[in-house]
Structure 1
């Protein structure tokens, strides 16, 4: 292969999973395709049951042509004129707003197939539509959620970290889906260090920030007030920050969480490490609720997702807002290209 042909080779399309078929995944997938031009959505193909998508098109009274494809390579040429759909082996029937545990296997097939296609070089990234975990649990799903399942698919060496991103702000909860009362026991210096290293590496390789800056929140009010309002900052968080600095990472903290997220403060870091779920997600969703993207970092494949749920109450109504999915598709494409550039730098 010549140098010019290597340079001009087109990147594989994005793989978009079906998500919960009774939720808004089909709705926002259709809406994202319809806005592909003005929103500059990169080419993607949808891993779904074609009959389900056609049914939702009729319910929403949309004019969206669907083309079934047998291989992802065909998606880019089809995408400008029709929504490419790679059919699942399992058929799906779903009424909007009424999840059926019988569809659980197809939902998982969509995710597993997307992962396999990435590994085969046939998809440049994975974008996942929201799943209904309660339905999957009823079908025998054994993982706490989407991220943990993807970590399992990635293999035993993977360490999945949840990052939420909007323009101008990236947040990472060190502990995630745990009761607030369980957070202090779950929080360790090792966990903070491992998370911080993963975030710094992602900022370099996925976002092109060669000297990443991290800000670390305290757990307690006023970041513990020198130990008078809690000892976690002194005994856990500060030692973790010292270890990250020993790695050569630019880290500030522990900082009072209530002063970390105003406009001027956000300009001083590239990602904020927060100690628990709501400490990270409340400021991000307050700043920009409709365009948040869930990025799973620390995996061998690129994965993004809209930062919202299945919205069963509005599925099939035409009220679903596709902006978060569109942002997830665009960010997945950007990260895929950034990783390609990082690999070239490492090889040179």
Structure 2
């Protein structure tokens, strides 16, 4: 089988995304997989010159084959900026550019020209200001673009010496809206997707998933909230009858300890800031964000646009390399499943 093609979006043009891709391309170690950047070639050339990076940009048409990885060479699928971009200075005029970059990568994956997409960070606020008031992030945008009802956000890191994967039952919601967003049917859908994609993309034959409770002490038998009794336990009972291996609901403050993580292939947290602070403490800058439930493979970095670092050459490429490596592994696992 040929090496998978990984389409890497360059993200917010005023942020560190473009230079992260360039810095990896300029490094002595070859990029994992046949990597092609999606973005404005002139922007990439300007940023490479600013940072004194020796990178040859090869602009490709859609029907041209993406070459094997070679240090110092970066293939590019071109998308033109709408307005000039300066490091550290957001401009809503480029909101449509950022979304076109995403659309181009999505189309390449759906058409089979790429086997995975890897996304550099974008800036939600400037996209909203640029005329897209309903934009809430990569995850939801990919869900809608692929016509999928439900996707699952999962972050993964190996910085602890073992694979730590944390998925979310809810994503970008205000905290006050979380309890009502967690339903029996919704939890069942999320856990089925998580179980299915651990098998399909990660080669886990029979996943074991540890599930956080919503409330402190997992509700303390109903004294600290009834969501565990009324929602979580019925959902887990239903899924266990379907053959899923599930532990919980467990108190979130003790679930992330070696005893409970031992043997778990993933953790399901109930909301964004319940599980991700633990994972990012363990492996920030060495983790990848993964969207499960899509008809395509998508990974991303675990950080934002870092406008204060843009154009300085001081950005850390670690998370992007992890996201590329995981995308390559997932693409290879999917072809064998």
TM-score range, shorter chain: over 0.9
* Structure 2 contact 4–33 (Cα < 8 Å) conserved: no
Aligned to 1:219: 214
Aligned to 1:13: 5
For the pair 1:26 / 2:18, whether they are aligned, the reply is yes
Quick one: distance in 2 between partners of 1:73 and 1:267?
Answer: 46
Q: Which one of 282, 285, 288 corresponds to residue 293 of structure 1? A: 288
Quick one: distance in 1 between partners of 2:139 and 2:154?
Answer: 11
Aligned to 2:143: 151
For the pair 1:272 / 2:267, whether they are aligned, the reply is yes
Aligned to 1:313: 308
TM-score, normalised on structure 1? 0.91
For the pair 1:65 / 2:56, whether they are aligned, the reply is yes
Please give the per-residue CA displacement for 1:289-333, whole angstroms capped at 9, x wherever unaligned: 111111000000000000111111110111110110110011011
Any idea what SS the aligned residue of 1:85 has? strand
Measured on the aligned residues, the alpha-carbon RMSD in Å equals 1.6
Alignment of 1:217-256 (within 5 A): 217-256=212-251
For structure 1, the 5+ residue unaligned runs are 1-8, 343-348
Any idea what SS the aligned residue of 2:32 has? coil
* Structure 1 contact 18–47 (Cα < 8 Å) conserved: yes
Please give the per-residue CA displacement for 1:151-184, whole angstroms capped at 9, x wherever unaligned: 11101x4421101111221111111111222211
| Total equivalences in the alignment | 332
Aligned to 1:120: 111
Q: Shift in Å at residue 280 of structure 1?
A: 1.1
TM-score, normalised on structure 2? 0.94
Quick one: distance in 1 between partners of 2:38 and 2:325?
Answer: 18
Say if 1:267 and 1:160 are closer, same or farther in 2 by CA, change over 3 A. Answer: same
Aligned to 2:202: 207
* Structure 1 contact 151–159 (Cα < 8 Å) conserved: yes
Alignment of 1:68-107 (within 5 A): 68-71=59-62, 73-77=64-68, 79-90=70-81, 93-107=84-98
Stretches (4+) displaced over 3 A: 71-74, 77-81, 89-92
